[in-house]
Amino acid sequence: MRIHTFEAHQWVSTPIEHTFDFFADAANLEAITPPFLNFRILTTLPVEMRVGARIDYRIALHGVPMTWKTRIDRWEPGVAFIDTQIAGPYAQWIHLHTFESSAGGTQLYDRVEYALPLDPLSRPAHPLFVRPTVERIFAYRREVIAKRFGGEGREHAPRA
């Protein structure tokens, strides 16, 4: 199984406590997911975020509906959390979110390790379809987060 990695980082002007609280509320996932995915949370809200918490969603990619189930495998309030796909479109999807206080705001980091199903047959789809879709999802997320928290979507904190 070939593992692919996607990383993104972004500075926002809000303090870490406020920023982390937004990401700790599963109800906010819909707001940072692009409309083209038709994302809907299936799990009854609110979700108590903790190690072992599960969240189920439905997405539709190019009109094809899919269920996506995740489990929280790491939960450190104000520091980091990991959501791991336990069922869904990928053979593997492990998403590490980290938060650091920086220049009066918060530096957000995302690291996703993912693998495609049916490897190696699916390998040609990665550069043509999958990677561009992952990049598009995170570009949308960056834009929404910048509007919500300030920071204009910059990757780094301003220099002091």
Q: Which two tokens stand for residue 153?
A: 């979507």
pLDDT at position 154: 52
Q: What is the pLDDT of residues 19-75, one digit of tens each?
A: 999 999 999 999 999 999 999 999 999 999 999 999 999 999 878 999 999 999 999
Q: What is the pLDDT of residues 89-119, one digit of tens each?
A: 999 999 999 999 999 999 999 999 999 999 9
**Rounded to two decimals, what is the model's pTM?**
0.92
Q: What is the pLDDT of residues 133-159, one digit of tens each?
A: 999 999 999 999 999 998 755 554 444
pLDDT at position 160: 37
List, in sequence order, every residue forming a beta bridge with 96; answer none if it has no partner. Answer: 82, 111
Question: Which residues fall within 8 angstroms of residue 71, CB to CB, at 6 or more apart?
Answer: 52, 53, 54, 83, 84, 86
pLDDT at position 152: 59
Distance (Å, whole) CA 49 – CA 56? 13
